[in-house]
Amino acid sequence: MTDTIAEIPLHFVDEVELSLDKIAQVLKHKPTLLLSEPSRLKILRCRTFLDSKIANSENPFYGINTGFGYLQNVTIDKAQISELQYNLLMSHACGVGHEIPSELVRLMLFFKIQSLSFGYSGVQVITVQRLIDFYNESVFPVVFSQGSLGASGDLSPLSHLALPLIGKGKVRYKKEITDSKKVLEDKNWQPITLQSKEGLALINGTQFMSAYGVFCLLKAQKLLKWADTIAAISLDAYGCSLQPFDALLHTIRPHEGQVETAATIHSLLKDSELNNTTQKQVQDPYSFRCIPQVHGATKDTFRFVEKTFMTEVNSVTDNPNIFPEEDCIISGGNFHGQPLALAFDYFAIAMAEIGSISERRTYQLLSGQRGLPLFLVKNPGLHSGLMIPQYTAASVVSENKQLCTPASVDSIVSSNGQEDHVSMGANAATKCLRVLENVEKVLAIELLSAAQAIEFRRPLKTSEPLEEIISAFRKTVRFNDADRVLADDIQNAISFINK
């Protein structure tokens, strides 16, 4: 990969690691993917080794010439090895729930291609190439949100991802859902003739969890920036002191996220007319005073989660794995999602706190204190003002508390006891995204409230960067001088911060 990723094709070169920024560029610019020659040779060498091993050995190799899971001791005749792989894809495609968004499927394809390109999975080159074709042509297999235990990888979601390779299942193409067989015919792509181990290579892996993880990280990255910016507007609107953001205070408790947040807030407000007025109160509520400590702790969590997922997307997570140079095939547990499940749960809790403290600032802004009118409306009583958006924020914050019950502490036995400890990482993934979507709503309601409160401080102004944001916001949501349907304002505020 290069810095000019939008201008030239992207080659999968396994010596170059994916980073969050590089993945963001791939999603933004959607470059054509190409399989590099070194990767092609590694895949081919691994496939050739596996073919030779099967032809010249009677030893059992899990999932290659044996059944799967509890059926590991069932030997499969060499003439039925290919049929075994077809049966695997079809029998394991048991997803339920809603169809996941195409951007998540795009990431799943991207990460599956990345993992197979390292050359430890025993697939054919044509199989990887067809996945690349799907990616480049925006042919997105229909994948469902429920069905993975996150232990033998994401068996069910990845089965749905792989089915179109053999002309089965559904795909979303040009925004329409259609049979994959029809799309293959239209594009003159022959269904892949699966060889030994290929089905297992395709559906063992953590690409469903990884796609959600990276998607959540990219969304959280944006939300954390907004959280600081919106908090700064609230600080000025509520007439808070900047003393808690003084750099000296944070040098004696130098958590990285805390120091960074204090500096950001201080920078955003340093030239504010409002902040330069005399502060009468000695201290501000924690939801204002402790922004560096709370926002900062979540940022530190973000860094841990980012490291976990970047390790994962640069890894091989199917099973068994094939090592041609060492002349061995090893069956293990690289598909187990425990590292990801724990990261998701930690991340959900940390991001939920961003929503929790945001809702408290909204509550304070509406409280009728510090010269602001009750519920931020000119004639409270006749008008309810912004009373009920805070109810909405409180409801969403409480839902997040419920969603933050850890999935990773749960397990359930499957495959007749063979798979007796599972990560529940896929459930952790889907609910983590729900938490982030909720945080986005809560921050939007704080922005709605803070921008409203600032208007009651006129003619004084906040800092120039914040005034620019408020001015842009006013083009989307006008000042509330009398009751109106606020659901529209809230939705417009969500859209504003989601640009």
pLDDT for 418-468, tens place per residue?
Answer: 777 899 999 999 999 999 999 999 999 999 999 999 999 999 999 999 999
pLDDT band at 7 (very low <50, low <70, confident <90, very high): very low
**415 versus 45: which is more confidently predicted?**
45
- The pLDDT value given to residue 6: 35
Same domain, residue pair 109 and 219: no
Element (H, E) at 466: helix 464-474
pLDDT band at 17 (very low <50, low <70, confident <90, very high): confident
Domain assignment present for residue 3? The answer is no
Mean pLDDT, residues 336-358 taken together: 97
Same domain, residue pair 155 and 260: no
Mean pLDDT, residues 174-180 taken together: 95
- The pLDDT value given to residue 67: 64
What mean pLDDT value characterizes the chain? 92
> Is the pLDDT confidence value at 5 over 80?
no
Question: Any idea which residue has 């239209």 for tokens?
Answer: 186
- The pLDDT value given to residue 277: 74
pLDDT for 43-81, tens place per residue?
Answer: 999 999 999 988 887 777 776 777 666 566 666 676 777
Backbone angles phi, psi at 272, to 5 degrees: -75, 130
Q: Which string of b and e fits 92-119 if b means at least 16 CB within 10 Å?
A: bbebeeebbbeebbbbbbbbbbbbbbbb
Same domain, residue pair 276 and 345: yes
Same domain, residue pair 353 and 491: yes
Query: Which of 50, 45, 39 has its CA nearest to residue 196?
Result: 50
Q: How far is the C-alpha of 209 from the C-alpha of 108, rounded, in Å? A: 9
**82 versus 67: which is more confidently predicted?**
82
> Is the pLDDT confidence value at 406 over 90?
yes
- The pLDDT value given to residue 76: 63
Domain assignment present for residue 131? The answer is yes
- The pLDDT value given to residue 14: 55
What is the number of other CB atoms lying within 10 angstroms of the CB of residue 58? 8
pLDDT for 286-320, tens place per residue?
Answer: 999 999 999 999 999 999 999 999 999 999 999 89
Mean pLDDT, residues 211-221 taken together: 98
Same domain, residue pair 162 and 24: yes
The CATH number of residue 241's host domain is 1.20.200.10
- The pLDDT value given to residue 8: 42
Domain assignment present for residue 2? The answer is no
Catalytically active residues, by annotation: 62
Contacts of 473 by beta carbon, 8 Å cutoff, 6+ apart: 447, 451, 493, 496
Same domain, residue pair 490 and 363: yes
Same domain, residue pair 166 and 231: no
Give the end of a domain, one of 156, 185, 205.
205
Query: Which of 6, 236, 22, 234 has its CA nearest to residue 111?
Result: 22
Please tell me whether the peptide bond between 459 and the residue prior to it is cis, using omega within 30 degrees of 0: yes
Which parts of 372-424 fold into alpha helices (H)? 387-403
Same domain, residue pair 377 and 491: yes
Q: How far is the C-alpha of 232 from the C-alpha of 284, rounded, in Å? A: 14
Contacts of 402 by beta carbon, 8 Å cutoff, 6+ apart: none
% the chain with pLDDT above 90:
81
- The pLDDT value given to residue 445: 98
- Strand 328-330 to strand 321-323: parallel, antiparallel, or no bridges (unpaired)? antiparallel
Domain assignment present for residue 425? The answer is yes
Domain assignment present for residue 456? The answer is yes
Least confident piece of the model among 60-69, 143-152, 392-401: 60-69
The CATH number of residue 30's host domain is 1.10.275.10
pLDDT band at 281 (very low <50, low <70, confident <90, very high): confident
Same domain, residue pair 52 and 200: yes
Total count of domains within the chain: 2
Same domain, residue pair 237 and 145: no
Q: How far is the C-alpha of 315 from the C-alpha of 207, rounded, in Å? A: 11
Give the end of a domain, one of 205, 240, 274.
205
Query: Which of 239, 464, 438, 425 has its CA nearest to residue 335?
Result: 425
pTM, whole model, 2 decimals?
0.94
Q: How far is the C-alpha of 471 from the C-alpha of 455, rounded, in Å? A: 11
Answer yes or no: are the C-beta atoms of 114 and 377 closer than 8 Å.
no
Same domain, residue pair 198 and 340: no
Same domain, residue pair 286 and 331: yes
For residue 10, the SS3 value is: strand
Answer yes or no: are the C-beta atoms of 299 and 224 closer than 8 Å.
yes
pLDDT band at 278 (very low <50, low <70, confident <90, very high): low
% the chain with pLDDT above 70:
93
Domain assignment present for residue 352? The answer is yes
Domain assignment present for residue 1? The answer is no
Structural domain span for residue 124: 10-205
Give the end of a domain, one of 150, 175, 205.
205
Domain assignment present for residue 384? The answer is yes
